[in-house]
Chain A
Amino acid sequence: MAAEFLTMYLLEEYLAIVGAAIGFVIAYVSYRGYTQTHSPTLLRLGAAFLLLGISYSFTGFHGLAANGLLPNFAILVGTFAVLAYSLETAGYFFLAFSHMLNVKGLKRGSFVPLVVFSPGAIAAGLKSLSFYFLLYGVTETLLSYVRTRNRGTLVIAAGLAMLATGEFMRWIGFFYGPASDLVLLSVFVKVVGLSTLVVPIMKFMWLGRAMTDVVV
């Protein structure tokens, strides 16, 4: 049971490192796009995924260190966890923020996300905010799909929805104990969700559209 528990936890840590790699790749492509077009949208997208990449890295390495697979820097572990959650929340905020700026009539109070802080621990509050921003991102991405009928948008919306579901299941899983099937299922859902975010990058590469250096 203990070995199974450890394996499951490590699976989550390795997933976090894979997520970090995906985040950094998307951030890199977005940044290249920004340098070539000077589009603030791409800058915000890049910032979002850079923060998510760093956050996932912290989560992954923090978990590996906590399980004794990396030199244990016990003093920093708690700080790292809160820092990781903060960066994750900031990343999801930027993702949601990118959509908010594209909507005309925002000042007229159309669909402004509310900021709700949990009265509990900082980490729990940040997690709930992350979940909220993710849901907002999913909603806006779906609305964008309805407007454009772009299949790639639908895939990303599905990916974000799976990430949000995974986060929610992970949170619910705490009530049933860390070794519950729900936690394992949440890891699986998050793996699939993260993988779908790679689709636009793969499309970008496979279409033979090499990233040329155009500096405006």
Chain B
Amino acid sequence: MSLYRTQVKIVADVLSAAMDNGTNEGVGITHLLRRANLSYARMVRILNDLVGSGLLETVEQERGNRYRTSDRGLQFLTAYGRFQDFAKSFGLRL
């Protein structure tokens, strides 16, 4: 019996993937697509939402936009990890 990946989990995956670089340059959309395993159309929609809500920041470069996790995004990931453990205790997933 397989399990759905919830929207919250997808957001956490995208934010984690955007931290991969470890520098302030951010990562490209191709990297995000590969790591978060999403279609291009869906990824664009999610990126717009995340940038709009301040969880991701865009880094403008000559070859197109790159994305990095904002401080708010980092706080989200911290809270996500904490409450994931809590939910897991009840046999649930966020």
What residues of chain A have their CB less than 8 Å away from a CB belonging to chain B?
A: 29-30, 33, 36-42, 45, 98-99, 102-105, 110, 140-145, 148, 150, 152-153, 155-157, 199-200, 203-204, 209, 212, 214, 216
Known: A37-B8, A155-B89, A200-B89. A104 touches B1 (CB 8 A): yes
**B44, CB-defined interface residue at 8 Å:** no
Measured between alpha carbons, how far is A142 from B2 in the docked complex, in Å? 16
Beyond A42-B94, A157-B91, A216-B76, 18 additional pairs, beta carbon < 8 A: A33-B79, A37-B79, A37-B94, A39-B87, A40-B6, A41-B8, A99-B92, A140-B91, A141-B90, A141-B91, A144-B88, A152-B89, A156-B89, A156-B91, A200-B85, A200-B90, A204-B86, A214-B79
* Contact of B83 with A39 in the complex, beta carbons under 8 Å: yes
Residues of B within 8 A of A99 (CB): 91-92
Residues of B within 8 A of A200 (CB): 85-86, 89-90
Please count the residue pairs between chain A and chain B whose beta carbons lie under 8 angstroms apart in the complex.
100
Measured between alpha carbons, how far is A69 from B76 in the docked complex, in Å? 47
